[in-house]
Every structure is written in C-alpha cells, then in structure tokens.
Amino acid sequence: MDLPPPVAKNSYIKIDKSLEEATCTVQQQSMNEAAKLEYSLATAREGREYVEDDEEEEDDDEEDQGEEDPIRNIDVSSDGTWMTRGHSSNVGAASTIGCKTGKVIGCGARSKICKSCEVWEKEDKNIQEIQEVGSTA
C-alpha cells in the first residue's frame, strides 16, 4: 500500500492547538449571538429593544438599584452530566439552552482533579525534600 508517513508528534500538537483555538473562538461567537438573540426575544416580550451593555444610557445611576431589571430575565434550560454514574466521576459537563430559540448559550466542562495543582504539589514536595536534605548536611 502506498500510504504517506504518519504526522510527527510536534506537528500534530501544533495542528491540534490551532484547531482548538479556532473551534473555541467560533463556539464563543455562536453562543454570544444565541444569547443576544434570546435576550432580544425576551426584551421584545416586554416591549423594549435590546441594548448593548456599553450603549446603555447614563441615567442608570438615577434608577433605584434595589429593583431587579425584568428585562435581564430570560428563560433557559440547563442540564449537566458526569462521565460515570454516581459520585465517583471526576469529569462532568453542563450546557444552558435558551427556551425561546433552542440554541446553546453556554456550556462547560469541569474536572474534580486539577493536573496543574498535582504538578505544583509534586514540585513543592520535591523542594521541601531538597531543603530538608540540605539542612541536615
């Protein structure tokens, strides 16, 4: 068979990172647009138009800050899941969907275990061991 050689590990990692960046950018843009659409439908129900946060009028300071802005309330549905059944799973994911549009306006994945923390703790223990060995000499 006349197959090309496999991609080198460094090239694969570089391609993977660029794909991840592009995917995350498009994902965030799509969710932002979906959230704006959901918000505009909620404001249309109240008879007001969608206003960007940076375009809001300066009169906000004069309004009673104790009242909740009803326009900010949108109907959403959220759901989450763990990788395995029960409380033994270390990885989970969740998403939030706008009820009017049915579009995803937020999502995320979480882990109970932090690899960065594990590396830091391991390095910290190594430093403590070095200091203990150095102090006994």
Residue pLDDT, tens place only, 37-47: 998 888 876 66
d(C-alpha 60, C-alpha 43), whole Å:
17
**pTM of the predicted structure, to 2 decimals:** 0.61
Buried b (16+ CB within 10 A) or exposed e, 2-25: eeeeeeeeeeeeeeeeeeeeeeee
How far is residue 110's CA from residue 132's CA, in Å, rounded to a whole number?
Answer: 36
> Per residue in 71-129, pLDDT tens?
567 889 999 998 888 778 888 999 999 999 999 999 999 888 888 888 878 777 766 66
- Check: CB of residue 104 under 8 Å from CB of residue 93: no
The residues with which 108 forms a beta bridge, in sequence order, are 94
Asked if 52 contacts 61 with a C-beta cutoff of 8 angstroms, the reply is no
* Segment 17-59, tens digit of pLDDT: 999 999 999 999 999 999 999 988 888 766 665 556 554 444 4
